[in-house]
Amino acid sequence: MRIDLHTHSNLSDGTDTPTRLVLNARNAGLEAVALTDHDTLDGVLEARAAGRRVGVHVVPGVELSTEVDGREVHLLGYGPRLDHDDLNAELARIRLGRRNRLPAMLDRLARLGVVVTMAEVQAQAGAPGTALGRPHVADALIAKGEVVNRQQAFDRFLDRNGPAFVPRPAAGLTAGIDLLHAAGAAVVLAHPGIRGMDEVLTGDLIEMLAREHGLDGIEVDYPLHDTATRDLYHRLGARLGLVRTGSSDYHGTGKAGHDLGSVTTRPPAFHELLRRIAERGGVAH
């Protein structure tokens, strides 16, 4: 059984529609996939309907933006109830924060001599309800010929230390875990070994999240985790009783080197996540 638990559609910063993503998952030989768009559940119903048609198990999911010590940390919530009022309110607040920071970001770009309009950013969105963010600014920069790909856009302008970066509101890390649990989700710490996140996501902090907030898992096998990093998190996860997952972080053509199904989750880990979702009253199937 091949399982990919971290993917994005054009309802956030991917390039596939939810239906196309599921079809691509089937064509990649996946039997199960989780749609985990950034701070939105809007693509889940479409993806699940497509999954039923083509025989792919689609797990409802979301990648929730949180922060700790001023650094952004992402949580993968699997199986949240789609009608949970508090979760939907928090997702709406974060999406509004994403959108509201864009004018300031575009102003900083203009001061650097790079003029991008809000209309040009909106034109890069895959659908009217897309959760706009930095990747869409990056795509607008690509369209204008200022950069050749998203990575270059982030490296030159948009990354945390870049000249056009503007912070935005996010849930606190522990509050985010608690909120996702309240909505019935199993919670996995996303890609903890990238972009210097190990500076804030220390072993002691992860242990506290597991013991005091019931963190369910950790994304261990990931395209940007090297062998030593994977081994470190496998051992840490085993010691803390965390589910160890593997995922591609697929974005369609929006992110190179993250091919759908290129990294997968072991079936026993997948079934343990489903058990935890069902135990909390979430949506496992």
Nearest in space to 184 (alpha carbons), one of 49, 86, 73, 51: 86
CB atoms near residue 229 (< 10 Å):
18
| pLDDT tens, the chain, 285 aa long | 999 999 999 998 899 999 999 999 999 999 999 999 999 999 999 999 999 999 999 999 999 999 998 888 999 999 999 999 999 999 999 988 878 888 999 999 999 999 999 889 888 876 666 777 888 898 899 999 999 998 899 899 988 889 998 887 788 999 999 999 999 999 999 999 998 888 899 999 999 999 999 999 999 999 999 999 999 999 999 999 999 999 999 999 877 789 999 999 999 999 999 999 999 999 987
Task: Please report the DSSP string for 88-126 in residue order.
Answer: HHHHHHHHHHHHHHHHHHHHHHHHTT----HHHHHHT-S
Tokens encoding 123 = 């034109």
pLDDT of residue 154: 87
Q: Do the bridges between strand 32-35 and strand 57-68 make them parallel or antiparallel, or are there none, so unpaired?
A: parallel
Among candidates 33, 87, 32, which has minimal Cα distance to 65?
87
Return the pLDDT at 276: 97
Domains and CATH numbers, the chain: 3-91+172-280 (3.20.20.140), 99-158 (1.10.150.650)
Q: What is the pLDDT of residue 126?
A: 64
Query: What does the pLDDT read at residue 274?
Result: 98
Q: What are the tens digits of pLDDT across the range 99-148?
A: 888 899 999 999 999 999 988 988 887 666 677 788 889 889 999 999 99
| Predicted local confidence at residue 13, as pLDDT | 86
Residue type, position 112, single letter: L
Rounded to whole angstroms, the Cα distance separating 113 from 91 reads: 33
- The helix or strand, by DSSP H or E, that contains position 243, with its residue range, turns out to be strand 243-246
Q: Is 69 exposed, middle or buried (0-12, 13-18, 19+ CB in 10 A)?
A: exposed
